[in-house]
Amino acid sequence: MLQKKEVPYIGYARALGVGGSYSGAGDVVDLDGEGEVLSPLEKNSAQWEAIHRAVDQRSACSSCFGHLSAVLRRWDGPLPWKEKEICIGQDFKGEILAKGQWGIGSCTEGSRCLKGCPPSEDDIRSFLEGLNG
Ligand code: SF4
């Protein structure tokens, strides 16, 4: 697991009075209504591998990738996408997606993408379900 000292901006935010760090036991409150708080995704777990196989992530904001990741983690059954078919991230700006690729977020703007910055989990779920419906 990532150590707090590895993410310096957490300390900067606390020093500036605009944020804090959390490391103690306590309650996690689900604010997005999904009714399930996801535990941290373990690197190299089967689910981690499946998501990183399906998704081509290039400089995605954490909010954008976080929403996509949450949708994929809650996906009913195995992910139906082949190698790197879902694209997300700022490095896709101005890129034309290849045939068979789909974009998540306005950075992948084009005829085969879901706009939004970041798109909501609900919108991502509907978009991805529509691809397979
Ligand atoms: S669409 Fe917005 S939130 Fe998503 S990667 Fe691009 S800039 Fe970040």
Between 25 and 91, where is the model more confident?
91
Distance (Å, whole) CA 59 – CA 88: 8
CB of 105 sitting under 6 A from ligand 1: yes
Between 35 and 94, where is the model more confident?
94
- The mean predicted confidence, pLDDT, of the chain is 85
CA 106 to ligand 1: nearest atom: 1
Strands 102-104 and 113-114: parallel
CA torsion 73-76-81-82 (nearest 10°) is: 80
Q: Tell me how far the alpha carbon of residue 45 lies from the centroid of ligand 1, in angstroms.
A: 26
Q: Tell me how far the alpha carbon of residue 26 lies from the centroid of ligand 1, in angstroms.
A: 31
Q: pLDDT tens digits for 31-44?
A: 666 667 778 888 89
111: which 2 tokens?
Answer: 């005829």
- The model's pTM is 0.77
Q: pLDDT tens digits for 62-84?
A: 899 999 999 999 999 999 998 99
Choice from 56, 114, 117, 124 to test ligand 1 binding pocket (greatest atom count within 8 A of CB): 117
Q: Whose CA is nearest to atom 8 of ligand 1?
A: 61
CA 59 to ligand 1: nearest atom: 5
CA 118 to ligand 1: nearest atom: 3
Between 66 and 1, where is the model more confident?
66
